Amino acid sequence: MIPNSKILFSVASVLMMIFVPGWTGALTSEEINNIEIYKRTSPGVVNITSVVVRYDFFYKPVPQAGTGSGAIIDPRGYIITNYHVIHDAKKLEVTLADGSTWPAQLVGADPKKDLAVIKIDAPKEKLSVLPFGSSKGLRVGDKVLAIGNPFGLQQTMTAGIISSLGRSIQSGSDSIIENVIQTDAAVNPGNSGGPLLNSQGEIIGINAAIISPTGASVGVGFAIPVDDVKEALPSLMQGWMYALRPLYFLGLGLLVFLVLRWMGSRLRERPS
């Protein structure tokens, strides 16, 4: 009996995938785009493990580990994530796509925007930087992809669309974050801090929250727009130094005032 055409095509496709690297067979343009984006961007998505100390009934310290995601945004090792991923952490570790783990330090945080920047001292050749897109001009229906570590399952990608724009959500500090992106791409605990990407593989948002009666994805996720992230980055990457700038200028102004006052008193004391 001669095999039918479907069997022959399947066998041929398997052989081509084995012996011809990069061959995509009868994949749709959508599938090809998804595969290409994942291949190009997943090395820039990291798993963040934070150790928080809680206290039991007898006030005994009990370390607890939590996980989240982050995106490499600078070849010097800077990583953007959510503030609630690293909040109160006594220890931070970052696992790269190659499986290597690196200690991380908090650089700067903005609880009101639920954003934070951490840094690792890993070799540049291990760091794959993700490009920023823009959150201007986004439309309901635009394709999006989320890459992160839901439930600790590293390097997971989900796809969906922008479900709505201009939403408002509450941050962990009880402030309101405006103009948030709503998506139906599956986002679960552990995805927080990971990138929301467009069809060019650019970051258009940082996944931050979900609405769910079960604690898992029901198709309503939210991401902080990347334009808000870019606006906050200068202060986040300079950390406490940037936060102290107002005090610096206040001190400088006070010093100038005291010098001028002293000079004025000296002039009044000079005999005519």
Per-domain residue ranges for the chain? Answer: 5-41, 43-126, 143-234
Q: 20: pLDDT confidence band, cut at 50, 70 and 90? A: low
- What fold characterizes domain 143-234? Thrombin, subunit H (2.40.10)
Is the CA virtual torsion 31, 35, 40, 43 positive or negative? positive
Q: 27: pLDDT confidence band, cut at 50, 70 and 90? A: confident
Q: 18: pLDDT confidence band, cut at 50, 70 and 90? A: low
More confident residue, 166 or 241: 166
Domain 43-126 has CATH 3.20.20.140: no
Of 50, 69, 163, 192, the active-site residue reads 192
Please state, rounded to an integer, the average pLDDT across all residues of the chain: 84
Of 84, 110, 135, 217, the active-site residue reads 84
| 142 included as an active-site residue | no
pLDDT of the residue at 14: 52
More confident residue, 44 or 20: 44
Q: What is the mean pLDDT of residues 68-92?
A: 95
| 84 included as an active-site residue | yes
Buried b (16+ CB within 10 A) or exposed e, 85-104: bbbebeebbbbbbeeeebeb
| 114 included as an active-site residue | yes
Q: Which two tokens stand for residue 10?
A: 């399947």
pTM of the model: 0.76
pLDDT higher than 70, residue 142: yes
Contact between 122 and 74 (Cβ < 8 Å): no
Is the CA virtual torsion 241, 242, 244, 247 positive or negative? positive
Q: 159: pLDDT confidence band, cut at 50, 70 and 90? A: very high
Are 43-126 and 143-234 in the same CATH fold?
A: yes
